[in-house]
Amino acid sequence: MTDAVSAKAKRNALFLVIVASLGYFVDIYDLVIFSIVRVRSLQDIGVSVADIEKQGEYVINMQMGGLLLGGIIWGIMGDKLGRIKVLFGSIFLYSIGNLVNGMIHDVNSYALIRFVTGIGLAGELGAGITLVSETLSKERRGYGTTIVAMIGLLGAVAAAFVGQYDWRTAYYVGGGLGIVLLLLRMGTFESGMFKNIHDKDVSKGNIMMLFNNRKRFLKYLYCILIGAPLWYVVGVLVTKAPEFGKALGAPVALSAGDGIMYTYIGISVGGVFAGLLAQYSRSRKNTMFVFLLLSLISVMFYLSAKGITTSQFVWLAFFMGFAVGYWATFVTIASEQFGTNIRSTVTTTAPNFVRGSLIPINFAFTALTAQFGRITAGYFMMILLTGIALFAVSQLQETFDKDLDYVEDEELNMTT
C-alpha cells in the first residue's frame, strides 16, 4: 500500500512539473511576442518609422507595468488562497488579453491591453515554481525547476516562429494556447505545505512583512537585483537589435525576432547547465557568480562586434542567452529564501519586479544613449547591473539543501 501511495505521489509530482513547464512555455510565448512583432504591428496600425522605437518603448513599458502590479496581486493571492487558484486566474486573464490584442487598431489600445495581459502573465511562473519547490524533495527540486525553465523558455522559440507570419494571428495563437493549458490545469493539485498552514493562525500573503524588517527587506531586494542583467540583455540589447546593428555598422538590418529566438534557445540550454551545475556543486550562489560573469563577457563581445553580420548576430544572441540562462536558478533562490506563508508572494513578485525593472533600465539607457551614444551606454549599463547583481548574490545565504517547511513570523524568526 505504501509503494502504491509512493508511486502515485511520484506520478502527481511528474504531472505537476510537466504542467508547470507548459504553463511557463505559454507565459514566455506571450511575454516576448510583442518584442518579436513590434516593428510590423506598430507600422500596421499607422505608426511612422521615426516613431517606432519611442512607441515601442511605451507599449513594452505598459506591459512591464502590468507585470509589476500583477506580481503583487497574484503573489498575495497565492499565499492567502492557494497556488492553484493563481494559476487558473492568471492564465485566464492573459489568454483573453492576447485574443483582444489581435483586434487592436491604435497605440493606446495596444498599450492598455498589453498592460492587462501583463497583469495576467505575472502569476504563472511564481505559482508554478512555488508548487514545484514545495512538492519535490529538497534534493530534487532543483531538477524540477530546471525542467520548468528548459521547456518553458522554448516558448520564445515558438513565438519567434509564429511571429514570422501575421502579427494578429500570433496573438490569437497565444490566447488559444492559454485556453488549452487552462484545461490541462484541471488535473493539478495544491501544495501540501500550503495546506498545512492554511487554517493556522499565521500571517499569510502579508506583503508588508517584506518591508517592515530591514534584514528581510534587504534579502528580498537582493533577490530582485540578481535578475536585472538578464532582462537588460533581453529587453534592450536583443529587442533593439535593429538599432544596435545600425550603430555597429551592420551591412544588413538585424532582426529582433531572430535575436529573441536564438537568445531564448540559449537561455533554455544555459538553464539546463545552470541547474546541473547547481546540483553538482550543491551551490546556487556559486552558479550565479559563474553565469553573471559569463553574461558580462558575452555582452562585451556583442557590443564590440563592429560590422556585425546576421550569422554573427545569431551566434552572439545564443551566447548571451546561454550566459543569462540562470533564470530558473534565480527564481528558485528567491523561493527558498522565505517561509511558506509569504513564499508565493516572494516567488511571484521577485521575477516580475525584475521584469518591471526594464522600465527604469529603459529610461536610464535612453538618457545615457542621448549623452554618450548607444554602444557606450550599452557597456555602462551592463557593467553597472552586473556589479550590483554580484554584490546582491554575495549577501544571500546558500539555500541548496534548505528545508522549506517553515513559516516566517512578524519578527523575522522561523517557526516550524
363 in Cβ contact with 234 (< 8 Å): no
Give CA torsion, residues 230, 231, 235, 238, to 10 deg. 0
Instruction: Round the average pLDDT of the chain to a whole number and report it.
Output: 84
For residue 22, pLDDT over 70 is answered with: yes
359 compared with 13, residue with greater pLDDT: 359
Can you tell me the mean pLDDT for 46-62?
86
- Looking at residue 115, its pLDDT comes to 93
- Looking at residue 299, its pLDDT comes to 96
- Looking at residue 415, its pLDDT comes to 43
pLDDT in tens, 184-229: 766 565 555 655 665 666 666 677 888 888 888 999 999 999 999 9
Sign of CA dihedral 396, 275, 28, 92: negative
Q: Using CA atoms, how far apart are residues 353 and 305, in angstroms rounded to an integer?
A: 31
For residue 81, pLDDT over 80 is answered with: no
- Looking at residue 276, its pLDDT comes to 87
| Sole residue written with cell 493556522 | 200
- Read off the DSSP letter of residue 407: E
Which run of H or E residues covers position 408?
strand 407-408
Nearest 5°: CA angle at 233, between 232 and 236?
Answer: 65
- Looking at residue 308, its pLDDT comes to 94
> Which of 285, 91, 59 shows the shortest CA–CA distance to 184?
91
- Looking at residue 416, its pLDDT comes to 39
DSSP string, 381-396: HHHHHHHHHHHHHHHS
Share of the chain above pLDDT 70, in %: 89
For residue 1, pLDDT over 70 is answered with: no
Can you tell me the mean pLDDT for 22-31?
82
Share of the chain above pLDDT 90, in %: 30
Kindly calculate the radius of gyration of the chain based on its CA atoms and give it in whole angstroms. 20
For residue 12, pLDDT over 80 is answered with: no
Helix (H, G, I), strand (E, B) or coil at 140: coil
CATH topology of domain 13-189+205-415: Growth Hormone; Chain: A; (1.20.1250)
- Looking at residue 186, its pLDDT comes to 64
